[in-house]
Amino acid sequence: MPASPEILVEIHRGTVVESVHAGHAVICDGTGQIVQAWGDPGAVVLPRSSSKMIQALPLITSGAASAFGLDRRRLALACASHQGAPLHVAEVETWLGDLGLEDAALRCGPQPSRDKALKKQMLCGDEPPRQVHNNCSGKHTGFLTLAKHLGAGPEYLELDHPVQRACLAAFEEVTGEASPGHGIDGCSAPNFATTMSGMARAMAWFATAAARSDAQSRAAAQLVDAMYTHPDMVAGEGRACTLLMRAATEPVALKTGAEGYFVAILPQRGLGVAVKAADGATRAAECITAAILVKLGVMEAAHPDVARFRNPAVTNWRGLVTGEIRPAAALS
């Protein structure tokens, strides 16, 4: 019988536990075996944007990345849920230009920039958001690069398009499971389902990729290297992925996903981590992830950029500290 989600995060106000978040978390090693788990490792999930590294694999294995001279910054951007900050927008626009394409070629939809200064500037200038501002525009430009390399049509999000067929094949290979279905992501791309253990197994596969010589593994190692070399491209200033990668005491690749999903790739330990907050809360997924990484010894709990996600203070409108978010005892 499937296990229930386990309480992994507590919100304290004074001496009272006011709220809790339950969820699932799995750590796998390079053999695909579960090292430790909380909740239900067999829970079927949509990993959302946490699967972008998998979706980027065909970009390299097809030869498209090499043919178009993609550097590590663009490979990191292909895996990103970025802020839509000027550095992200400029890179996407230049990349599209190199492909001979414009904003209209994207299929992710326009999204206001999450960068406060740029968003204010655009609002004051009555400038509407474009698709390049979408947090998934790097992934989509990667899709367009692959489509152009394959000589495929412009509707690269269709399930039967060569791009999405390649993504599904890569997804099922690295998770070690046949996907039971898919949903449509916020950026309109198909998002394939798997189990919690399947996603943790995939991240452990990425973590151990550098030790293997097959084309798929070499591609994975490139993507992991790109992510922790350019954490600013993966998310942006103030975001958990970027700050936690910078705070780590060893190379770690991290990627968030919508609805409380998070993954971690630990190359020096050969481990992969998958986290899902059952209620979809971002604050819970970030707390669980930071707690697990501290538990594994790759981050210091006292580091301010770790503490802000693992043990953030709860404040009121006067700025008074009224409580804190903290990992439940199960994660200690």
Domain count, the chain: 1
pLDDT tens, position by position, 245-260: 999 999 999 999 999 9
The predicted pLDDT at position 1 comes to 44
CA gap 208, 211 in Å, rounded: 6
The string of DSSP codes covering 267-325 is TTTTEEEEEEETT--HHHHHHHHHHHHHHTTSS-TTSHHHHHHHSPEEE-TT--EEEEE
The residue type at 112: P
**Which of 7, 22, 21, 17 lies closest to 323 in space, CA to CA?**
17
The predicted pLDDT at position 2 comes to 60
Q: Is 1 part of any domain?
A: no
Q: Is 130 part of any domain?
A: yes
HSE-up (13 A, CA, CB side) for residue 58 = 25
Q: Is 266 part of any domain?
A: yes
| Averaged pLDDT in 10-residue chunks for the chain of 332 residues | 86 96 98 98 98 98 98 98 98 98 98 96 96 98 98 98 98 98 98 98 98 98 98 97 98 98 98 98 98 98 98 96 96 87
- Residue 297: C-alpha distances to residues 8, 228, 274, 277, 300 (Å): 19, 17, 17, 22, 7
Domain that residue 81 falls in: 6-316+324-331
The predicted pLDDT at position 332 comes to 81
The predicted pLDDT at position 287 comes to 98
CA gap 179, 171 in Å, rounded: 8
CA gap 162, 274 in Å, rounded: 28
Q: What's the CA angle centered on 37, arms 248 and 183, to 5 degrees?
A: 85
Q: Is 244 part of any domain?
A: yes
| CATH number for the domain that contains residue 290 | 3.40.710
